Amino acid sequence: MSKDAKKNPFISHGIAAQNRKARHDYKILSTLEAGIVLRGVEVKSLRLGRAQLTEAWAGERDGELYLFNMYIPEYQGGVLSRFETRGARKLLIKRNQRRQLFHAIARERQTLVPLDVFFNDRGLAKVTIGIAEGKQKADKRHAAAERDWQRDKARLLRNR
């Protein structure tokens, strides 16, 4: 293969999109992996790694679990099929898990936050959903101070 040959831009497995802000804004109590229902052109666009999860959230609609406001840009590969870039996308989880999640949302005042979208070893798109509680401003400051202290401590021990 020559140096000029283009590398394949598609993600065959691994992380396609990440919500890094979620770990700052929420205290993640537990996580679960869910499948996601996508059309073919949505998968192609997702494999390019341009999706965004920063404003996305998961919730209930008609007794099912959906992912709302996840941005997947339109695929520019000459496909005539169009889709909603921020449409609701159904998440696939077991009935028992769904019941527990809806209970956590309704009674325990927790929220469902998408943490990342990835392709597993079989090439299927999956979403990591975090069951989370919102952080207050003081909690965020405490976490930042703890991070700074850990960094300074590591620097002091390294320079010893």
Structure tokens at 14: 């691994």
SS3 66: strand
Residue 106 has pLDDT above 60, yes or no: yes
pLDDT at 108: 78
Kindly state the average pLDDT of the residues 134-141.
82
pTM: 0.77
pLDDT at 6: 60
- Looking at the DSSP bridge assignments, the partners of residue 119 are 14, 125
Region of 98 please: left (phi>0), alpha (psi -120 to 50) or beta.
Answer: alpha
Rounded CA-CA distance 67/148 in Å is 34
Average pLDDT for the chain:
85
Task: Burial-class residue 57 by CB neighbours within 10 Å (0-12, 13-18, 19+).
Answer: middle
pLDDT at 7: 64
In the structure, what pLDDT confidence band is assigned to residue 1 with cuts at 50, 70 and 90?
very low
Residue 147 has pLDDT above 50, yes or no: yes
In the structure, what pLDDT confidence band is assigned to residue 8 with cuts at 50, 70 and 90?
low
